[in-house]
Structure 1
């Protein structure tokens, strides 16, 4: 299904992605929420599900709560009974990790590479509920699921933008509104990174936020260093064959900086290494502590029997797959790990990296080689794929 309304994917990528915001009216005609508000609140009672409550004016009777109080789940029914009548918001992160239908919703955003998609967050708010003017460091689509929310956008921000002192959440000290819209069910707003925005519920409402992975320079540097150290050579060292006489022998000049830069860049000239850095980093699990245990005793015979007896095969909701293709080598990435395979396994890899629902017949047909069988057995053992039966 096309979720960009009047825009084509080409127009969106060319004119808006990471460039400027765009409001798409009736982006998802007839959209039906995945679950009602009471079931969403029920998720916040679970220990393993990441949830937050944000109350703008604090909790009545709690002198220490102050403005913009943040509470982290899991919550109890008593927590909800103690909430004020208005100006509070419940946020449930990573809903796609727990509900297959939520994982399937993200399929509609695969016009962005799937390894860039992070998660689906659902926000339920009562009248006036909001989290203050703020900015995100990643792209986000805000799909209005129920009710109305008024969104305002403002200035571009950075790590130097001042925040209000005191609140437990990051609320911008300044918000220079440049535009605003009231979103109705099925409307969607796209926001590029670092754009200030502020959403206020008009009555009860639910908003679905589709966020994207955007590793920081620190994360990329660490992942790059980890990869480089595996194959780093003691023979490749800082060199200066173009050295000329300096006025001051203690000065580290711009030429020295350039030589250092070139030495480090030489370690990243291999596309395969760079793809591996991204593949491992971008497929890391969002909540690795909640992964089921590996079934070590499971064999290919067991896996094949499962495949032959099922009508539907799915990727687990927490699975993250990607691949790179260089020459006669395929590298398949899963949960921050990778396997190297021959190009004959490309059709199987493409199947696995496609949608959440996998074609059982195609998977069986493509599992004739030992490499294919080892891969599928590994995925079954780690419970990264499963049969609905």
Structure 2
């Protein structure tokens, strides 16, 4: 529904800043189900601005696919806005500011993609938002000249938060024709139905001003036209895990069940549905056993955790500064767990292990209390729980070197 809301406190600061309502309200009323339009100052210029866009275009040597352009619903060929980097940077697809100017002045929309990787304020905000949501997210900027339409009415296969940064943009939002689409169910599969729905009365028909935020679940049809001057908005795409993902993990586990690997009967008649009844019943029984086993050993959750780890990059670490810090580590230096570093801690009688996506770090069991404490709260390098000062510094240096800890 189209609703104006006031901000409220929350233990999820990035999400609260976007929605302006308590997390419980957002989770119950809107998440995955209904659009939410929140109008609240201040604007989000600490995250992005016109000058930030110009800096990325002129000084950061962006390449495709971190940038694309579109005009009247069509994607422009990359060579119409990119070129060679010249001597010392012989690549053919660096952003060419003069070409961008030509296309933009002619009415084309500029899309700066992956800003959670190229612009530090957005990177930091996105890491916090991912922590708030529990789902991966990425950020694009859409920069549209006055009265230009970048893309035809369409839906996305991921949830989005739209933040109006500069200028104004007229948005129209229509009900879905295909609810909760998966990544392999794009709007083009329903092109005619989308076009017909877009001709109906929209649910939301509003001009967005700086500071306005729209939450839009995947599948909702939308289009936008800039009003009066250059419009800049950020789109935060959220790849929410689904029950279909749970099923995919379950099917992966099914490969380990010999009963499910058995062949169907010799001479099975696929034209006679009843001939499969016994095997379908046996399959359902095996599936129930799989679900019970997965609930007991956490295999499904572990599978989803691996998907999440592959999609979310932790905060970067500065290699040179870290090596210098290790060499002269002060016992009073405050260290903390690297933001968005996913992993789990495993204990046994002899060791404590930090299991990360690409490696496992093993420490003596006496370091267990220190590792668990660091996972939840910043600690002084020379006074880790359960360790003497010398051992604390040894563990701190090891975890700095492994990229687990960072200075605060």
Output the TM-score relative to the length of structure 2. Answer: 0.66
For residues 162 and 215 of structure 1, what CA distance do their matches in structure 2 show? Answer: 22
| 1:30-74 deviation digits (Å, cap 9, x = unpaired) | 4324352201324773248622112227xxxxxxxxx44353864
Return closer, same or farther for 1:210/1:78 CA change in 2, 3 Å cut-off: same
Higher mean Cα deviation, 181-190 or 199-208? 199-208
SS at match of 2:155: coil
Counterpart contact for 2:155–2:187, Cα < 8 Å:
no
Residue 347 (1) aligns with residue 366 (2) = no
| 1:318-347 deviation digits (Å, cap 9, x = unpaired) | x54255999999996644767799985443
Residue 147 (1) aligns with residue 174 (2) = no
Question: 1:141 deviation in Å?
Answer: 0.8
For residues 333 and 112 of structure 1, what CA distance do their matches in structure 2 show? Answer: 22
Counterpart contact for 1:134–1:171, Cα < 8 Å:
no
RMSD of equivalent CA atoms: 4.9
For residues 173 and 396 of structure 2, what CA distance do their matches in structure 1 show? Answer: 46
Question: 1:83 deviation in Å?
Answer: 0.9
Counterpart contact for 2:130–2:137, Cα < 8 Å:
no
For residues 123 and 364 of structure 1, what CA distance do their matches in structure 2 show? Answer: 48
Equivalent residue number for residue 270 of structure 1: 294
Counterpart of 2:139 (choices 111, 120, 143) is 120
Question: 1:315 deviation in Å?
Answer: 3.5
Equivalent residue number for residue 29 of structure 1: 42
Return closer, same or farther for 1:80/1:137 CA change in 2, 3 Å cut-off: same
For residues 314 and 47 of structure 1, what CA distance do their matches in structure 2 show? Answer: 32
For residues 325 and 24 of structure 1, what CA distance do their matches in structure 2 show? Answer: 42
Equivalent residue number for residue 53 of structure 1: 69
Aligned length: 350
Counterpart contact for 1:132–1:172, Cα < 8 Å:
no
Counterpart of 1:260 (choices 277, 283, 308) is 283
Counterpart of 1:16 (choices 18, 24, 30) is 30
- List aligned pairs for 1:192-271, cutoff 5 A: 192-202=217-227, 203-214=229-240, 232=256, 234=258, 251-268=274-291, 269-271=293-295
| 1:79-105 deviation digits (Å, cap 9, x = unpaired) | 213315253222222222233321222
For residues 247 and 129 of structure 2, what CA distance do their matches in structure 1 show? Answer: 28
Equivalent residue number for residue 69 of structure 1: 76
For residues 38 and 136 of structure 1, what CA distance do their matches in structure 2 show? Answer: 27
SS at match of 2:105: coil
Residue 39 (1) aligns with residue 55 (2) = yes
Residue 83 (1) aligns with residue 103 (2) = yes
For residues 141 and 111 of structure 2, what CA distance do their matches in structure 1 show? Answer: 6
SS at match of 2:153: coil
Pick the structure with more helix per residue.
2
Gaps of 5+ in 2: 1-12, 80-92, 179-184, 265-270
For residues 396 and 307 of structure 2, what CA distance do their matches in structure 1 show? Answer: 20
Residue 191 (1) aligns with residue 205 (2) = no
| 1:293-331 deviation digits (Å, cap 9, x = unpaired) | 999xx99x9858557586676837xx5425599999999
Return closer, same or farther for 1:259/1:31 CA change in 2, 3 Å cut-off: same
Residue 180 (1) aligns with residue 199 (2) = no
Return closer, same or farther for 1:157/1:336 CA change in 2, 3 Å cut-off: farther
Counterpart contact for 1:148–1:201, Cα < 8 Å:
yes
For residues 330 and 78 of structure 1, what CA distance do their matches in structure 2 show? Answer: 56
Equivalent residue number for residue 113 of structure 2: 93
Counterpart contact for 1:331–1:340, Cα < 8 Å:
yes
Output the TM-score relative to the length of structure 1. Answer: 0.69
Counterpart contact for 1:150–1:199, Cα < 8 Å:
yes
For residues 251 and 319 of structure 2, what CA distance do their matches in structure 1 show? Answer: 29
Higher mean Cα deviation, 47-56 or 364-373? 364-373
| 1:197-248 deviation digits (Å, cap 9, x = unpaired) | 112222212212222123578876665566666xx365886699xxxxxxx9
